[in-house]
Amino acid sequence: GNSVTQMEGPVTLSEEAFLTINCTYTATGYPSLFWYVQYPGEGLQLLLKATKADDKGSNKGFEATYRKETTSFHLEKGSVQVSDSAVYFCALSQGAQKLVFGQGTRLTINP
Amino acid sequence: DAGVTQSPTHLIKTRGQQVTLRCSPKSGHDTVSWYQQALGQGPQFIFQYYEEEERQRGNFPDRFSGHQFPNYSSELNVNALLLGDSALYLCASSSDAGGFYNEQFFGPGTRLTVL
């Protein structure tokens, strides 16, 4: 079945550091790929998405490129802020909108 | 726009009891999905409701059941609670507009603790 694997956390960085959170997936066909963010005490928010190979999703300075050849969708940001501290989830969907999530990566940014 | 709302926020039950969680979708949305998020894990898909019927189901036992009402709101019922049912239960709504992908909007969740 479909699955998503994320780099294990927690990840701790200093403000203005470069961020990469790795995500790889297993799926038949061509899934849509997503990054969701969960701030403390809140529900999941869609951060960005890509629906076909080579698409780049971007939002709030975050970017991720749908790489079919490596089945990856790594999340990057050039300069993180304290407010980016949250749990990040990589996810895929195929067909009937069911989302399959990775285990999440907790990110902490220190001032 | 109130977004997706869920009630209650927190709930404490004992083993063997039954629980009902509620979800109101975002305005204009007709599809509701439920997810279980255990501590430190990613959400796991339970089931999805559209036009008052269960359209798709994840790998959860029959103790988990649901309902969708004509106003598109939904309930999740869990019978014979086990300690392992302790989790954050997330509701997500979307619009079945027939596109390739319709974004799911998540509520804040209901934290269920089973003692």
Tens of pLDDT along A1-60? 889 999 888 999 999 999 999 999 999 888 999 999 999 878 899 999 999 999 999 999
Give the pLDDT confidence of B60-84 residue by residue, as tens digits.
999 999 999 999 999 999 999 999 9
**DSSP code of A52?**
S
> What is the number of CB-based contacts under 8 A between chain A and chain B?
60
What is the band of B100 on the pLDDT scale with cuts at 50, 70, 90? low
Judging contacts by C-beta atoms under 8 Å, the chain A residues touching residue B42 are: 4, 89, 91, 101-104
Rounded average pLDDT over A63-82: 97
Judging contacts by C-beta atoms under 8 Å, the chain B residues touching residue A98 are: 33, 45, 48, 56, 58
Distance from CA of A88 to the nearest CA of B (A): 10
How far are the Cα atoms of A12, B81, B97, B109 from residue A2, in angstroms, in the given order?
29, 28, 24, 25
End-to-end CA separation in angstroms for chain B: 36
Report residue B85: phi and psi, to 5°: -80, -5
Residue A37's closest CA among A111, A96, A102, A95? Answer: A102
* Angle ∠(B7,B8,B9) on CA atoms, nearest 5: 105
Distance from CA of A79 to the nearest CA of B (A): 26
Range among A94-98, B70-74, B93-97 with highest mean pLDDT value: B70-74
For residue A79, which amino acid is it? Answer: S
Q: B45–A100: do the CB atoms touch at under 8 Å? A: yes
pLDDT at A41: 79
Residue A48's closest CA among A34, A68, A60, A61? Answer: A34
Q: A104–B108: do the CB atoms touch at under 8 Å? A: no
Q: A101–B108: do the CB atoms touch at under 8 Å? A: no
DSSP per-residue letters across B35-64: EEE-TTS--EEEEEEETTEEEEE-S--TTE
Beta partners for residue A64, in sequence order: A57, A75
Are β-strands A44-50 and B10-13 bridged in parallel, bridged antiparallel, or unpaired?
Answer: unpaired
Nearest CA in chain B to A97: B101
Q: B42–A104: do the CB atoms touch at under 8 Å? A: yes
Distance from CA of B109 to the nearest CA of A (A): 6
CA atoms within 13 A on the CB side of A8: 0
pLDDT at B97: 66
Rounded average pLDDT over A82-93: 96
Judge contact between A25 and A4, C-beta under 8 A: yes
Give the pLDDT confidence of B1-59 residue by residue, as tens digits.
679 999 999 999 999 999 999 999 999 999 999 999 999 899 999 999 999 999 999 99
Rounded average pLDDT over A71-100: 92
Judging contacts by C-beta atoms under 8 Å, the chain B residues touching residue A32 are: 100-101
